[in-house]
Copies of this chain bind each other. A is one copy, B any other.
Amino acid sequence: MTWRNSMTWQQTGSRIQCGALNGKTKNNLGFLKGNMFQLDDVIEAQQFDREILSAIFEVAREMETIEKASRGNQLLKGYLMATLFYEPSSRTRLSFESAMKRLGGEVLTTENAREFSSAAKGETLEDTIRTVEGYSDIIVMRHFESGAARRAAMTANIPVINAGDGPGEHPTQALLDVYTIEREVGKLDGIKVGLVGDLANGRTVRSLAYLLAKFKDVKIYFVSPEVVKMKDDIKEYLTSKGIKWEESVDLMEVASKCDVVYQTRIQKERFGERIDLYDEARGRYIVDRDVLSVMQKHAVVMHPLPRLDEITVEVDEDPRAAYFRQAKNGLYIRMALLKLLLVGW
């Protein structure tokens, strides 16, 4: 959304921002009810601070109630969301569209946006956005290029939500991850999280690391095959924020210490022709019954899905398997964001 003459909007270097009007608020209730925030776009995980996260989570919990309690909620009745997907991602798209419809809103869907714009006939993303904003009230965009969401938000006069832009950001995934941790473990300060699997290419774990850095006394363990180790930029960022982190090759030991074991898929498509490296990496760290057996009672296993065999099916039955609840939380977070962007707090 381009700049609005809003008392509640703060520009801090980047134009995409949301924050408290006058510093930190006193209590959570006032924070939510006092109209002191304005969320304009959702572009990157880093745009959210602790207070806003906490407020969003409170709305997400209301959304759970709405989804469960009633048929035909009409909070967003008459609002139209355009899902502009330049690459297919049915999972994310269905989650957003369900969120919109659960609140009584309507949806315009484009799954192959590539065919009608930039890529096909040479139209710029900006021109496409200017057209689509004429047909809708909010745009949810998935793009194959890093930075595309920010460009869209700069152009649009309506809110834009980034549903993933290439290797860049996927902020609603990061939000639902943090929301899930809080729901499952009961806290965010002081938690120990093991990030497992493909840490080099996984957009998810990178964004999650950024968000976890906003909390206190967090400890992060990186457990990954050598070829897909967490990159230095994240490590340096964590260090600069005072977050403790550690690399480990011992999943069992990490699992026994953590509140959250966050497993990820080794992405075959990142290995090109080096199938040998892929195969080696893939079998390296599996969450199975053995891993469960050393985990604490209150700890949980998370995964952004889809999973292949990096979590064995036998784990599904364990109450600590939180990944399907995590997927469901994506619905509540997206309901919350749609509500906040369209009708405010």
Specify the chain B residue showing the minimal Cβ separation from A99: B135
Q: Please, how many angstroms separate the alpha-carbon atoms of A328 and B134 in the complex?
A: 5
* A89 sits at the interface (CB 8 A): yes
With beta carbons under 8 angstroms apart, the residue of B112, B116, B306, B307 that contacts A91 is B116
What is the number of residues of chain A that contact chain B, defined by CB distance less than 8 Å? 50
Q: Is the Cβ of A109 less than 8 Å from the Cβ of B112?
A: no
Q: Please, how many angstroms separate the alpha-carbon atoms of A95 and B90 in the complex?
A: 21
Q: Decide yes or no: A90 and B78 within 8 Å by CB, A101-B106, A121-B306, A135-B98 being known contacts.
A: no
- Residues of B near A115 (CB, < 8 A) are 88, 90
Q: Can you list 9 A-B pairs with a CB-CB distance of less than 8 A?
A: A73-B78, A94-B132, A95-B135, A117-B306, A121-B306, A121-B308, A123-B306, A131-B324, A131-B327
- Residues of B near A80 (CB, < 8 A) are 98, 101-102
- Chain A, 275-308, CB within 8 A of any chain B CB: 305-308
With beta carbons under 8 angstroms apart, the residue of B74, B91, B108 that contacts A101 is B108
A320 shortest CB reach to chain B, Å: 16
* A130 sits at the interface (CB 8 A): yes
* A77 sits at the interface (CB 8 A): yes
Q: Is the Cβ of A307 less than 8 Å from the Cβ of B108?
A: no
Q: Is the Cβ of A112 less than 8 Å from the Cβ of B136?
A: no
Q: Please, how many angstroms separate the alpha-carbon atoms of A288 and B117 in the complex?
A: 22
Specify the chain B residue showing the minimal Cβ separation from A82: B94
* A71 sits at the interface (CB 8 A): yes
Q: Decide yes or no: A88 and B112 within 8 Å by CB, A82-B94, A106-B101, A134-B331 being known contacts.
A: yes
What 0/1 pattern do residues 122 to 150 of A give for CB contact below 8 A with B?
A: 11000110111011100000000000000
Q: Please, how many angstroms separate the alpha-carbon atoms of A132 and B328 in the complex?
A: 9
Q: Is the Cβ of B78 less than 8 Å from the Cβ of A94?
A: no
**A72-B77, A80-B101 known; 15 other A-B pairs, CB under 8 Å?**
A70-B78, A71-B78, A88-B116, A90-B113, A94-B132, A94-B135, A95-B135, A97-B135, A109-B109, A122-B306, A123-B306, A123-B308, A127-B305, A130-B327, A131-B327
* A2 sits at the interface (CB 8 A): no
- Residues of B near A77 (CB, < 8 A) are 71-72
* A262 sits at the interface (CB 8 A): no
Q: Is the Cβ of B108 less than 8 Å from the Cβ of A98?
A: yes
- Chain A, 65-107, CB within 8 A of any chain B CB: 70-74, 77-80, 82, 88-91, 94-95, 97-98, 101-102, 106
Specify the chain B residue showing the minimal Cβ separation from A134: B328
* A111 sits at the interface (CB 8 A): yes
Q: Is the Cβ of B305 less than 8 Å from the Cβ of A123?
A: yes
Specify the chain B residue showing the minimal Cβ separation from A267: B121
* A8 sits at the interface (CB 8 A): no
* A110 sits at the interface (CB 8 A): yes
A178 shortest CB reach to chain B, Å: 18
- Residues of B near A307 (CB, < 8 A) are 123, 127
Q: Is the Cβ of A110 less than 8 Å from the Cβ of B94?
A: yes
Q: Is the Cβ of A97 less than 8 Å from the Cβ of B108?
A: yes
- Residues of B near A136 (CB, < 8 A) are 94, 98
